Amino acid sequence: MTPSTHLYGQLFDLLRQHSRVCDLRHLKTLAWMVSALLYSGELNLAAWEPYVMSRATKAQSTERRWQRFMDNCRISVMAIYGPLVLAALSGWKQQRLYLALDTTVL
């Protein structure tokens, strides 16, 4: 098992535990995207391809899959991230928290 697949498995289990998403394919895609982001250290979708196990034979196929995921109006970011963020923040009640907001999409 490569390190990226091990991280993917851990992320998927964590997301599934804290999410109410009905379609597990969305969680699988998100887990692959997050693990590839962490391993590549880049926001470039093309840089993620070596870190993802897929049947796709071309990098463009994987990139299109991620683009469809991000453009899918049926995927609620709050349904996926909300419970996960709340679980992470619950342990930091008495500590200072620094928050960085990305306003490029606003």
Q: What is the H or E stretch that residue 32 is in? A: helix 24-40
Amino acid 5: pLDDT: 81
Angstrom distance (rounded) from CA 7 to CA 98 = 26
List, for residues 9-68, the tens digit of each pLDDT value: 888 888 888 777 777 888 888 888 888 888 888 878 788 888 888 777 776 777 888 888
Say whether pLDDT at 106 is over 60. no
* Confidence band, pLDDT 50/70/90 cuts, at residue 81: low
pLDDT of 105 over the 70 cut: no
Identify the burial level of 63 via C-beta atoms within 10 angstroms of its C-beta, where 0-12 means exposed, 13-18 middle and 19 or more buried: middle
